[in-house]
């Protein structure tokens, strides 16, 4: 009897331990998670926590002092450069370890390993798409390239050593909370992981195209309709670099850009079974940015001012981490990428630098024909050419691993084939030629910029940037301003690569790379400013084809504002960055006001009045802005959807300017008529129809009290895991949106705003939507968020070491060699 | 008296062992104390339960107070689906208490064998 009770009690004890230690019964190991000495309580950082520390590592050569200010920004002072990068790695890991590793897992297609295959296998599908795109293959190549440069090798290794020094001394109880919740541990860091992170940025910024959708459009539309819907030279285009006597384009291409002889029959009218499935995992189309620099001739102080705000997916922990790195050689401050050494967007004592995405199409598809089912040879210039195979092992949490064999051709990996389909019925083998597969050491660009003292050194630095192509903006204390669209860009004939190309014919290869000196650029122009906002960098007179999808309105309004500004002070630039003037609405207004009120429902008339009285600013509180956005969306749908539905295949959606400009040119726009009805609809019919349709949604929003623009748009910044809502910030009151300088969409927008006045000592301002700590249990997790939404800035302080007694410095970390 | 000594000893031993060992070491602590200090089985259970319920609840409360409940608010939303830090502290205590209670009960019964 006694024995039985003991057995029962023991069993209950062990059962409870099992229950609270595993994920088999409950979804989470509650004992492990809630034990105050092990679990999540350990991540609840005291609000008055001290960050003072004295540390010693054998990996350090000398002393490093880190002064941490009241916003938790570390100012690193190192006597030796490698030590500075060691400490940068250590600090990135200390504040952002989970995110750093998660992002590299995402780049390497390893998310299923920690998250499982996901609903409808979505996560596994994403991992496969990254493997098949050759992300790991590309990162391996860039590691080999990086190792050829002694300074890069030293830098990346020092950084990795710093990250690992942090991981090694990290007790399990102090693991970032996401590891605890998901139940895994950090791996050792390596230069490969940094390379993966940088490839992820290439993917995000230079991995976008709609070539397969454009191929469908070409196959199913007449040539005239195609050009009408998808023209790329917008009427309102203000190219980054206009073709003027001051900045002339090259007169002719450096190589022969005649399309292949067979292009007319095989490429432009190449008809084939269309693509029926699109890849859901594509970089966000809104990835873009603004940057501009004004010369001393336009500023009150006579010194240049540089502004930059990169628009990316908004997440917590933020993509950016603010810090200063100072060595005897240089002193740089700005936004850094946890996962990579260097300051990425920022300034030093002499120059400032920033980026917007070039958006050039550097990723094309070639259709290959295999000799047989073994896929070991493909047809190339009439011969069977051997392929190579790379076996990708994708581990899946709670399931057996998935083994995926990816075939590599001379073009690149065959991303789509019978195992990863783009067509439900027919097998299409599509190889991808992507610039990011070419070996390069792009990190050197940032290393060089951190050290650069003048225009020449800036130019030498950015020449290392091959992919992703960027509009690199520059201003110096000595008064120079410049912009270069920099990258290694393929020299293409018109519309080359917009559609799938034949992979059996070498004449469809890229005809080489555009010489660097012919990249669009502008140095100290007489207009007194340089700017970019992802618009086409050049107009049609540039001898090379640069791609087909570019926004125009932000670039247009930035230049209009800068043209008229004089006596500029930093405050003007900050106001401009958060400006919500909707220039597209300015163009669209006259078209929309042609609506005949008698064609409208009663409620719709109310919205028409709201629109008529709107000041064209999509500010917080604006209801007219909501009416405009929904009405315009409904109008686009009313005008195009009938033709698109008839084709019934994935198609690209025309660009933001296509409808405004087409209707301004010709109110009898041929797509206006609804082809599904026997009547011939006019523009006036469609305007009224669209507003009546939008009225349903507007009424619904109004009933929910969400008619004000910021409520309708509902900007949020989600935790990277997307599913842990309490770690995210919702309902941020912020205006702006697509086509406005303040390009804040619902989950996407200015991820870092920076204004740098090139005075002696540097007067700079900046902010990002997040906080320095990646720990959701820290008060520094999201403490910049409200100020960011309100359009406020923090003063950025390029500290000198003799200022260490300044009241802004709250803590000191001392690193010593042991 | 034995009850109070058991509670204190169990809490102390659990705290010390948890500094180095996984969370379930609290079961070993509660078992050992119950086996060492003779009590009726129900009293042993009660001392084990109370020791860890109090230890864990108070520690959670102490940590969370210093944190202004920033994290507890979020985690209670995740685990309990409501913003209630106090409830999260009590759940924390309950889990520790249950494990330690049954372990102490086992310890007491083992001694009787």
ipTM of the complex, rounded to two decimals:
0.97
Instruction: Specify the residue for token string 């809490």.
Output: B11
Q: Residue B74: which of A45, A46, A776 has the nearest Cβ?
A: A776
Please provide the size of chain A in residues. Answer: 818
Rounded CA-CA distance A613/A631 in Å is 15
Nearest Cα residue to A307 out of A474, A448, A459: A474
Q: How confident is the model at residue B1 (pLDDT cuts 50, 70, 90)?
A: confident
Rounded CA-CA distance A468/A588 in Å is 34
Rounded CA-CA distance A737/A581 in Å is 10
Nearest Cα residue to A491 out of A362, A596, A405, A392: A362
Mutation for B interface: A17, A44, A173, A728, most B CBs within 10 A: A44
Rounded CA-CA distance A1/A818 in Å is 62
Q: Helix H segments across A525-651?
A: 553-564, 570-577, 583-592, 602-612, 623-647
Q: Which residues of A touch B55 (CB under 8 A)?
A: 36
Name A713's Cβ contacts closer than 8 Å, sequence gap at least 6.
Answer: A737, A744, A745, A746
Is residue B113 within 8 angstroms of chain A, CB to CB? yes
Q: Which residues of B touch A722 (CB under 8 A)?
A: none
Count of alpha carbons within 13 Å of A499, Cβ hemisphere only?
A: 24
Is residue A9 within 8 angstroms of chain B, CB to CB? yes
Q: Which residues of A touch B97 (CB under 8 A)?
A: none
Domain ranges for chain A, please list them: 1-34, 49-97+138-360+441-495+513-579+741-818, 583-713
C-alpha dihedral sign at B43, B46, B51, B52: positive
Q: What is the dihedral of CA A90, A337, A530, A312, to 10 degrees?
A: -160
Rounded CA-CA distance A140/A513 in Å is 22
In chain A, which stretches have pLDDT less than 70? 270-273
Beta carbons of B74 and A727 less than 8 Å apart: yes
Domain ranges for chain B, please list them: 2-112
Q: Residue A38: which of B18, B79, B99 has the nearest Cβ?
A: B18
Which pLDDT value is given to residue A574? Answer: 98
Which pLDDT value is given to residue A712? Answer: 97
Rounded CA-CA distance A506/A379 in Å is 11
Beta carbons of B23 and A5 less than 8 Å apart: no
pTM equals 0.96
Q: Which residues of B touch A50 (CB under 8 A)?
A: none
Rounded CA-CA distance A503/A367 in Å is 5
Write the DSSP assignment of A748-815 as a string of letters. Answer: EEES-EEEEE-STT-EEEEE-SS-S---TTSTTSSTTHHHHHTT--EEE----GGGTTSTTEEEEEEE
Is residue B65 within 8 angstroms of chain A, CB to CB? no
| The token pair that represents A774 in the structure block | 């990646």
Is residue A50 within 8 angstroms of chain B, CB to CB? no
Is residue B81 within 8 angstroms of chain A, CB to CB? no
Q: What is the dihedral of CA B23, B26, B27, B32, to 10 degrees?
A: 150
- Give the 3-state secondary structure of A438-455: CCCCCHHHHHHHHHCCCH
Tell me how many degrees the CA angle A437-A140-A103 measures, rounded to the nearest 5: 90
Q: Residue B19: which of A37, A48, A781 has the nearest Cβ?
A: A37
Rounded CA-CA distance A559/A522 in Å is 14
Residues B2-57: pLDDT tens digits?
899 999 999 999 999 999 999 999 999 999 999 999 899 999 999 999 999 999 99
Q: Residue A17: which of B27, B66, B74 has the nearest Cβ?
A: B27
Beta carbons of B71 and A44 less than 8 Å apart: yes
Omega before A317 within 30 of 0, i.e. cis:
yes
Please say whether the beta carbons of A332 and A81 come within 8 A: no
Residue A236: count other Cβ atoms within 10 Å of its Cβ: 17
- Between the two ends of chain B, the Cα-to-Cα distance in Å is 24
What 3-state DSSP class applies to A430? strand
Average pLDDT over residues B94-108: 96
| The token pair that represents A400 in the structure block | 């057996």
Rounded CA-CA distance A461/A711 in Å is 44
Domain A583-713, classified CATH 1.10.1400.10, yes or no: yes
Q: Which residues of A touch B88 (CB under 8 A)?
A: 34
Phi, psi of B54 (to 5 degrees): -70, -45
Beta carbons of A47 and B64 less than 8 Å apart: no
Q: How far is CA B111 from CA A1, A146, B41, B104, in A?
A: 14, 66, 10, 11
Which pLDDT value is given to residue A587? Answer: 97
Instruction: Specify the residue for token string 């940015």.
Output: A289
Which pLDDT value is given to residue A723? Answer: 87
Phi, psi of A704 (to 5 degrees): -85, 5
Q: Are strands A53-57 and A809-817 parallel, antiparallel or unpaired?
A: parallel
Which residue in chain B has the smallest CA separation from A34? B92
Tell me how many degrees the CA angle A790-A551-A483 measures, rounded to the nearest 5: 80
Please say whether the beta carbons of A560 and A540 come within 8 A: no
Which pLDDT value is given to residue A272? Answer: 61
Is residue B91 within 8 angstroms of chain A, CB to CB? yes
Residues A512-522: pLDDT tens digits?
999 999 999 99
Rounded CA-CA distance A470/A201 in Å is 12
Nearest Cα residue to A623 out of A552, A699, A557: A699
Which pLDDT value is given to residue A271? Answer: 64
- Between the two ends of chain A, the Cα-to-Cα distance in Å is 62
Domain A49-97+138-360+441-495+513-579+741-818, classified CATH 2.40.100.10, yes or no: no
């Amino acid at each position: 009897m006694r024995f039985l009770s003991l057995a029962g009690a023991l069993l209950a004890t062990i059962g409870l331990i099992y229950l609270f230690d595993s994920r088999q019964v409950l979804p989470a190991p509650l004992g492990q998670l809630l034990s105050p000495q092990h679990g999540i309580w350990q991540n609840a950082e005291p609000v008055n926590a001290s960050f003072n520390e004295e540390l010693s590592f054998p990996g350090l050569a000398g002393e490093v002092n880190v002064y941490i200010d009241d916003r938790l920004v570390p100012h690193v002072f190192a006597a030796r450069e490698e030590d500075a990068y060691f400490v940068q790695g250590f600090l990135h890991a200390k504040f952002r370890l989970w995110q750093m590793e998660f992002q590299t897992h995402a780049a390497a297609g390893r998310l299923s390993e920690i998250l499982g295959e996901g609903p409808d296998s979505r996560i596994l599908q994403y991992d496969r798409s990254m493997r098949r795109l050759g992300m790991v293959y590309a990162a391996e190549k860039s590691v080999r390239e990086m190792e050829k440069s002694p300074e890069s090798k030293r830098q990346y290794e020092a950084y990795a050593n710093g990250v690992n020094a942090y991981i090694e001394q990290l007790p399990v109880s102090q693991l970032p909370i996401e590891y605890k919740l998901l139940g895994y541990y950090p791996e050792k860091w390596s230069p490969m992981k940094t390379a993966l992170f940088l490839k992820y940025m290439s993917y995000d910024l230079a991995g976008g195209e709609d070539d397969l959708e454009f191929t469908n459009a070409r196959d199913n539309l007449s040539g005239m309709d195609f050009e009408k819907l998808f023209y790329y030279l917008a009427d309102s285009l203000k190219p980054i670099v206009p073709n003027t006597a001051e900045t002339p384009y090259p007169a002719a291409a450096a190589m022969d850009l005649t399309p292949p002889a067979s292009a007319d029959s095989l490429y432009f009218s190449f008809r084939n079974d269309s693509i029926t499935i699109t890849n859901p995992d594509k970089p966000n189309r809104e990835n873009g940015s603004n940057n501009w620099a004004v010369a001393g001739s336009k500023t009150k102080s006579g010194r240049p001012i540089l502004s930059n705000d990169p628009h990316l997916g908004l997440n917590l922990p933020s993509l950016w981490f603010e810090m200063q790195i100072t060595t005897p050689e240089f002193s740089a401050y700005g936004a850094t990428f946890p996962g990579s050494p260097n300051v990425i967007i920022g300034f030093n004592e002499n120059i400032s630098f920033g980026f917007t995405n070039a958006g050039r199409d550097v990723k094309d598809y070639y259709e290959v024909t295999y000799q047989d089912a073994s896929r070991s040879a493909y047809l190339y210039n009439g011969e069977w050419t051997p392929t190579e195979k790379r076996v990708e092992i994708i581990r899946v949490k709670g399931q057996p691993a998935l083994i995926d064999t990816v075939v590599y051709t001379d073009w690149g990996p065959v991303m789509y084939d019978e195992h990863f389909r783009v067509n439900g019925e027919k097998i299409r083998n599509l190889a991808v030629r992507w610039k990011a597969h070419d070996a390069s050491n792009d990190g050197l660009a940032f290393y060089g910029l951190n050290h650069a003292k003048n225009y020449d050194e800036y130019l030498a630095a950015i020449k290392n940037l091959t992919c992703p192509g960027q509009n690199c903006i520059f201003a110096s204390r000595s008064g120079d301003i410049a912009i270069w669209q920099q990258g290694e860009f393929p020299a293409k004939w018109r519309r080359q690569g917009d559609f799938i190309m034949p992979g059996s014919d070498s004449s469809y290869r890229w005809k080489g790379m555009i010489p660097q000196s012919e990249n669009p650029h502008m140095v100290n122009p007489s207009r007194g400013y340089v700017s970019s906002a992802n618009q086409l960098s050049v107009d049609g007179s540039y001898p090379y084809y640069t791609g087909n999808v570019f926004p125009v309105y932000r670039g247009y309004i930035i230049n209009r504002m800068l043209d008229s500004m004089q006596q500029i002070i930093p405050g003007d630039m900050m106001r401009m960055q958060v400006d919500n003037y909707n220039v597209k609405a300015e163009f669209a207004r006259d078209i929309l006001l042609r609506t005949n009120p008698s064609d409208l429902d009663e409620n719709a008339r109310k919205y028409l009045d709201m629109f008529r009285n709107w000041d064209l600013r999509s500010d917080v509180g604006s209801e007219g802005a909501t009416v405009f956005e929904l009405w315009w969306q409904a109008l686009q749908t009313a005008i195009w959807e009938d033709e698109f539905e008839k084709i019934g295949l994935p198609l690209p959606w025309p660009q933001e300017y296509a409808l405004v400009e087409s209707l301004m040119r010709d109110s009898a726009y041929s797509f206006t008529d609804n082809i599904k009805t026997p009547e011939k609809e006019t523009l006036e019919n469609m305007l009224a129809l669209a507003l009546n349709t939008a009225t349903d949604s507007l009424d619904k929003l109004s009933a929910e009290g969400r008619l004000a623009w910021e409520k309708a748009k509902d900007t949020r910044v989600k935790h990277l895991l997307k599913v842990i809502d309490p770690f995210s910030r919702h309902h941020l009151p912020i205006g702006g949106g697509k086509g406005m300088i303040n390009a804040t969409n619902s989950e996407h927008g200015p991820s870092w705003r920076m204004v740098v006045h090139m005075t002696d000592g540097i007067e700079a301002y900046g902010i990002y939507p997040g906080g320095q700590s990646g720990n959701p249990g820290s008060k520094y997790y999201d403490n910049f968020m409200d100020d960011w939404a309100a359009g406020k800035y923090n003063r950025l302080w390029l500290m000198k070491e003799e200022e260490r007694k300044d009241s802004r410095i709250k803590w000191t970390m001392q690193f010593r060699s042991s | 008296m034995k009850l109070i000594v058991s509670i204190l000893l169990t809490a102390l031993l659990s705290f010390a062992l948890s500094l180095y060992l996984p969370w379930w070491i609290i079961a070993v602590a509660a078992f050992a104390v119950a086996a060492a200090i003779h009590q009726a089985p129900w009293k042993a259970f009660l001392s084990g339960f109370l020791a860890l319920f109090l230890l864990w609840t108070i520690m959670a409360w102490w940590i969370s107070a210093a944190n202004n409940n920033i994290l507890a608010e979020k985690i209670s939303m995740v685990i309990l689906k409501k913003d209630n830090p106090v409830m999260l502290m009590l759940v924390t205590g309950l889990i520790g208490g249950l494990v330690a209670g049954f372990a102490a009960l086992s310890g007491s019964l083992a001694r009787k064998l």
